[in-house]
Structure formats: structure tokens, C-alpha cells
Structure 1
Amino acid sequence: MAGLARPMQHAVNNMVMVMQANMDSVLASLPPEDKAAIRLGRAAQAAHDMEALVRAFLRLGRPEEHSPVDSGRFLGTVQPLLALVVGRPLAVEKPATATVAPRRPAVDLALVEAFTGAKALPRSTPPKARLEGTVLEVNWPLPEGSEAALAEAGIGAESAGEGTRLLLPAA
């Protein structure tokens, strides 16, 4: 899988780029209020979302990487998978970012496991995440067994009232 992840990601990116360019070209020729423009705009957004989800998923199969990256950018790349695991809309705030050095894909997989805890929230409580530098706060407790995966990936975890503070590995 590791050998196929990068070429697969490249191939998907190329296909989405072609779809996106064609949709953008047609959209530019239509008035914004036109029903076809509205539908095409939704299709363009779906293509963008699909590409982000596939990219995040394929990153899980790539060889280990350990490069410094902005924490907001990192979270943005893994967010489509986290939202998928949560199973409903996930509100994410990023008031401040910092440089982190996540061991990928280990950190991505550990976060996926930690975010399954949001499924235990009552339906009336929307799942929320807030990134403040290297600290990612979520409004749910960690699911049983996920602390070990987080620790192995270099992510610290501590309870914070009803939620959890996850400490991403700083660069």
C-alpha cells in the first residue's frame, strides 16, 4: 500500500484538477443565479471535498514522514478523515497555530482513533475542536484504549473537564 499511496494520490489529484478546471470554465460563463451554475458550484465543492478526503485517507498508507509543518495546515489535511470518523458536522476553530513535527501517518491514525470518542456525545451536543498553537482541545473524553495510540504517536493527552486536551508534538 505504501508504494501505491503517493502515485494514487497524484492520479486522483490530476483527475480532480481536470474536473475542477472544466467546472470553473463553465461556471465563469453562467450568471451566478442560474440554476445550472448553482448545481455546478455544488458539484465543484463536492469534487474539492472528495479530493481532500481521498488525500487524507491515502496519507495513512504512505511511509513515515516527520517534517515540521504549521499546526493549522496539518489539522486541515487530516480534518476530512476526522469529520468522517465523527459521523456528523465537526466544528473546528483555529485561533492560533504553531509549528509541529508530527510523525505521519502515526499521528493521523492516533487522532482518528481519538476522534471516535465524539460518537458518544449526545445528539444535542455538536462535536467541536479548537486548535491553539500545539494544543488541540475537543469537547469529548477519549475513547477507551486511545491514550496508548496517542502516546505512541507522541501526542500528550489530558482531561479538561468534559473534554480532552491533545498536545501535538512541537517542532
Structure 2
Amino acid sequence: MTSGTPYIIAADAADTKVSFSSTASIELPTATDEPLDTPTADGILLFQGNPSFAEKEVHDVYVLNDKGTAFELREDYMMRPFECVLTANAATRNVLKSFRLADGNPTGVIELLRGDFRAWGADGLLHLRSAAPADVHIYNVGGSPVAHLPALAGDRTLRLPAGIYLVKYKQTTIKIKL
């Protein structure tokens, strides 16, 4: 393993213990101004840490609650030294305000990540992705229709004025801020 390189570690059983040891000394920064990595557009959550002895201000991150039972979305958060948080793209943050772990299995997240529809705002555009043809309705925050996309399948991008929109797909409505 190399310092500064991210690794994913997986185990077959929830009770598997992992230990790390080092024969070399490691120099830890007293503070870092490096921003957190930008999450990808595919809805994957990124596990990221503060590798310094100083607190670090971060925005739009999921933080483990005090009981250790759920990750909750925080707009503004001060990470403690060596603390870790989860980050996600805007589409995920719009529909997932918190999630919890039960018996080592995520609940509520898997359906979102493997869902057949996604909607998110980025760079002033509304992005839509549908795995199967279905009607998509877009409303402004006042409830007035903005667009109707019959039998949307695949990717579609719409340029809309800045604002808050409600995207309805089947029985799901997603709030998007552009």
C-alpha cells in the first residue's frame, strides 16, 4: 500500500477485523486546504477524510450521527482531525437526506443507486437519465408545468432558468435546484 492512495477494503463477513501497521514513519500535515474530491455523476457515495491535525470546513456532506446509526446530510460541517465523511453528487443529495445501516446492509441507498431513473442539476442544466421508457413531468416550485417528456428513455439534458424544479417520474418526485 502507498501513502496518499485510496483503497477499497472489503470483507466477506461483517465481523472481520482489519489491522494496519507500518514500518516507516509518516509525516502528517498540520492542516490542509485541499478540497474534497468531486463525486461522480453516477450516484456513488465517496468516503473521504480529513488527513490533518486541524479542523476542516466542508459543505454538503453526509456525517455519521451521534448515535452512530445513520449518515445525515449537512450543508455546512466542520470536520474534526482525521474524521471521515461521505460525499455524493447533487442528484443523490436531492433525494437522499439521510440513510442508515442495519445489520451491515445499507437500506434505502441500494434502490437509489440501482434505480431506473436519475435526475440532477449541474452547470445550469437539468440532467435526466431513464433506463426504461416512462413519462417525465417537470414543474416549477409553484406547481405549474414546465415540460412533459413522454416515454423518455436514455439521457436527456434541458436548459432551464435558474430556480427550483420538481421532476416527477412514475410515483417519485425529485426536487432539483438549478
Shorter-chain-normalised TM-score: which range? under 0.3
What TM-score results when the alignment is normalised by the length of structure 1? 0.27
Higher strand fraction (1 or 2): 2
What TM-score results when the alignment is normalised by the length of structure 2? 0.27
Higher helix fraction (1 or 2): 1
